[in-house]
Amino acid sequence: MSAAEALKVARAAGVRLGIDGDALALEAATAPPPAVLDLLAQHKAGIIALLRPANDGWSGEDWLSFFDERAGIASSAGRLSREQAKARAFECCVVEWLNRNPVRSPPSRCLGCGQTEHSRDPLLPFGTEPTGHAWLHSRCWPAWHESRKAKAVAELATIGVHGPGTRR
């Protein structure tokens, strides 16, 4: 069982969880079953990591619930198989991660190859206005964008959000 699953089991048993400094804080109306407490003790570090928000403002748990929500929408609205719905949900997570972790760069140098602008090869702004732009040559953008997506996939994997075909 993963920390994320242990967290779900505890929630289902009526335990409210939070973090208090470096410790896991529990709250429950009635004493949780010993099996649930054992599970929490066993996955304590992983659960704390899931509940702590990262620089982009979302905790691992936020990502997992976003994934579940998207997968639910995809399977009910899109009539997709479970695997297809998961794949769609994972794509949404990657897009959301990229939106939440924008890259800004000065317009004087290409972020891909590190070269300056040439008359035949202008630098173009990629990204959206509120978060600023990353400046690249158009030919450098596809590789750079792929590397950003790979980064998103790797970061999501560390919090237990996996794409299709990867082992859980």
Q: Is 140 in the site for Zn ion (CB under 5 A)?
A: yes
Least separation, in Å, of the C-beta of 112 and Zn ion?
Answer: 4
Sign (positive/negative) of CA torsion 145, 147, 152, 157?
A: positive
Q: Say how far apart CA 90 and CA 82 lie, in whole Å.
A: 12
Closest CB to Zn ion among 82 and 104? 104
Q: Is 112 in the site for Zn ion (CB under 5 A)?
A: yes
Q: Which of 113, 127, 149, 151 binds Zn ion (CB under 5 A)?
A: 113
By CB under 5 A, the count of residues binding Zn ion is 5
The region of 5-13, 50-58, 113-121, 142-150 touching Zn ion under the rule CB under 5 A is 113-121
Q: Is 137 in the site for Zn ion (CB under 5 A)?
A: yes
Among residues 73, 55, 53, the alpha carbon closest in space to that of 63 is found at: 53
Q: Say how far apart CA 49 and CA 60 lie, in whole Å.
A: 7
Closest CB to Zn ion among 117 and 155? 117
Q: Is 10 in the site for Zn ion (CB under 5 A)?
A: no
Closest CB to Zn ion among 6 and 136? 136
For the chain, helix, strand, coil in percent to 5 are 50, 15, 35
Q: Is 50 in the site for Zn ion (CB under 5 A)?
A: no
Closest CB to Zn ion among 75 and 105? 105
Position closest to Zn ion via CB: 110
Please check whether residue 140 is in contact with residue 113, taking contact to mean a CB–CB distance below 8 angstroms.
yes
- Estimate to the nearest angstrom the gap between the alpha carbon of 157 and the chain centroid: 8
- Estimate to the nearest angstrom the gap between the alpha carbon of 66 and the chain centroid: 9
Contact residues: Zn ion, CB under 5 A: 110, 112-113, 137, 140
